[in-house]
Amino acid sequence: MSTIPRKSISSRLDWPIILLYLALVCIGISAVYSVEYISFHEPFFDMSKSHMKQITWLGISLFIGLIILLTDSKFFSSVAYLSYLLGIVLLLATFVLGSEVKGSHSFIKFGSFSLQPGELCKIFTALALSRFLSSTETNFNTLKDRLIAATIVLVPCLIIIKQNETGLALVYFSFFLAMYREGLPNGIIIAGFSVVSLVLGTLLIQRVPLFIIITLILALAIWLTRAQWKRQKLTLVILVVGYGLAVAFSQIVVPYVFKHVFQPYQVERIYSMLGQDVPDEYVRPGTVAKKDADYNVRQSKIAIGSGGLVGKGFMNGTQTKYSYVPEQNTDFVFCGIGEQFGFVGGAVLIVLYLSLLMRIVIIAERQRSVFSRVYAYCVASILFFHFAINLSMTMGLAPVIGITLPMLSYGGTSLLSFSIFLFILLRLDADRHMLIR
């Protein structure tokens, strides 16, 4: 322990992060407010309104953040495994105590507020992963330790898939980005990424375009690795075999199984886990296909697209104000911003997010302890995944898998969990010259 007199915690905090955080939360609250606003006659401080609930949650988040900042930085690494265990228990508890919200069993209710353990568990997993990777006994170059790290991430992920919250579960894959920073080989990242994208691609992309994409990827891979396979023919064989497996899986196995082996309800469940409608080719004759997801994206694109360069002005959005976009307070909160503030507003928001991400990477790289660095990368990865997928989803670039836009989307658990994420980061960063294990 150093005995050098330390400066106060507030002067050691990274204020850019705090300002960016507050800016994003405020944008979120005004987006929620503008969408629900009806007339000036309605009181602003009406607790039944979403924006007031969100403000309340901001208060709770800031209070918890303050507590975090006043906690010793070593506390987080020391409780990492314990909290992870608690997280797993909470996740499992939802199967017993959980109440159903929109078809998923991932919520536990406390009075009028409901808690989603899956959200909190992201923090615990991040802590546990950081603790494991920073441990002196861990050698991340060994297969055993890589498997352990993957297990830490995938256990909560699998439980959440079981809860029918596939979107949330997919978020856990972003931890591999942090692991990549810590030395996970390119090959594993590429192979893992390929398998996951192949499975998702098969479900989300139509067969013929997918075939073309896979073939193009093969061609690209052969060209990129030309130096390698000229020396070693095995690389070429691996590439071609991998290609063959991918084509067989996506073009033959899945369509056959979905059409002839699975019952229609099973197919429907697989697609609904991804928040997708069952494609026409798997719809049995005589049943009616639902087209909800399609409708969401169309309305979302209309709302954003109608914003134009500078938008329709604050509280003048027609599409979001009159509820054309489903989930416009939560997953599709970006529509309100896109419609009211146009391209300028949307681009500013994206730049704000990018600044936050870049700032976190800077913070990560200035840490003395591995624990803090890994944790910072976990935060960046999770934020990035949410930000990228959510915006792509609202603009019709990615399937609607129902994940929130951090800090902006209406919803207490989401705001609270991201606040905790950031405040722990701030606390660790305040002690960046210390060695935390």
Partner 1 sequence: MSSNTQNSRPWIIRSLFIGMAVILIGRLLSLQVMDDKYKIMADDQAIVRKVIYPARGVILDRKGRSLLINHVTYDLAFIPNKVKELDTTLFCEVMNTTKEDIEKAFKKAIVRNGYQRQSVYESDLPQDKNARLQENLYLFPGFELIERSTRTYPLKIGAHIFGYLNEVSPRMLEKERYQSYRQGDYVGITGLENVYEEILRGQRGVHFMVRDVLNRPRDAYKNGSLDTPAIAGKSLELYLDADLQALGEKLMNGKIGSAIAIDPQTGGILAMVSGPSYDPNLLSGANFGKNFGQLSRDYTRPLFNRAIQAQYPPGSTFKPITALIALDVGVITPSFGMGCGGGYYACGRRIGCTHSGGGHAANLRVAMANSCNSYFCHLFRLTVDAKKWVGGVHEGVQRWHDYLYSFGLGHALGVDITGEYKGSIPDSSYFNRIYNRHWNSCNMVVVGMGQGEIDMTPLQLANSMCLIANRGYYYVPHFVKSIGGNANDSLLTPYLEKNEVTHIPESSFMAVIDGMEDVVTHGTGRVAQLPGVQVCGKTGTVENYAGIFGQRVKLDNHSVFVCFAPKDDPKIAIAVVVQNSGYGATWAGPIASLMMEQYLTDTIKRQPLFDRMVNSNTIKKYIKTLDSIQREKDNLRDLLRTADKRTQDSIKKVRDTMLAKQILKDYYQFK
Sign of the dihedral defined by the CA atoms of residues 317, 322, 326, 330, in that order? positive
- Which residues partner with 108 through β-bridges? 115
CA–CA dist 378, 364 (Å, integer): 10
Which residue blocks in 98-225 are alpha helix, DSSP H?
117-134, 143-162, 166-171, 175-181, 186-204, 207-224
**Which residue among 124, 377, 410, 421 contacts partner 1 (CB under 8 A)?**
377
Q: Of the ranges 22-30, 164-172, 175-183, 250-258, which one interacts with partner 1 (CB under 8 A)?
A: 175-183
Q: Of the ranges 17-25, 45-53, 150-158, 338-346, which one interacts with partner 1 (CB under 8 A)?
A: 338-346
Rounded to a whole number of angstroms, the minimum distance from the CB of residue 142 to partner 1 is 13
**Which residue among 33, 353, 371, 410 contacts partner 1 (CB under 8 A)?**
353
3-state SS class at 63 = helix
Angle (CA) 66-67-68 rounded to 5° is 90
User: In terms of Cα–Cα distance, which of 115, 58, 68 is closest to 87?
Assistant: 115
- Look up residue 284 and give its DSSP letter: P
Q: Of the ranges 87-95, 117-125, 250-258, 385-393, which one interacts with partner 1 (CB under 8 A)?
A: 385-393
224 binds partner 1 (CB under 8 A): no
* Closest to partner 1 by CB, 52 or 395: 395
CA–CA dist 257, 246 (Å, integer): 15
Rounded to a whole number of angstroms, the minimum distance from the CB of residue 139 to partner 1 is 8
**Which residue among 351, 433, 435, 437 contacts partner 1 (CB under 8 A)?**
351
395 binds partner 1 (CB under 8 A): yes
Residue 402 is encoded by which pair of tokens? 């129902």
Torsion angle, CA of 281/283/285/291, rounded to 10 degrees?
-110
313 binds partner 1 (CB under 8 A): no
Q: Of the ranges 97-105, 155-163, 200-208, 390-398, which one interacts with partner 1 (CB under 8 A)?
A: 390-398
37 binds partner 1 (CB under 8 A): no
User: In terms of Cα–Cα distance, which of 171, 194, 184 is closest to 378?
Assistant: 171
**Which residue among 9, 19, 397, 435 contacts partner 1 (CB under 8 A)?**
397
State how far Cα 10 lies from the chain centre.
30
358 binds partner 1 (CB under 8 A): yes
* Closest to partner 1 by CB, 99 or 318: 318
Per DSSP (E only), the strands in 209-365 are none
Q: At residue 55, what is the residue type?
A: I
Angle (CA) 374-376-377 rounded to 5° is 65
308 binds partner 1 (CB under 8 A): yes
State how far Cα 343 lies from the chain centre.
24
**Which residue among 6, 281, 392, 435 contacts partner 1 (CB under 8 A)?**
392
Q: Of the ranges 4-12, 164-172, 295-303, 416-424, which one interacts with partner 1 (CB under 8 A)?
A: 295-303
Q: Which residues bind partner 1 (CB under 8 A)?
A: 140, 177, 180-183, 288, 301-309, 318-319, 321-324, 338, 342-343, 346-347, 350-351, 353-354, 357-358, 361, 364-365, 370, 377, 380, 384, 387-388, 391-392, 395, 397
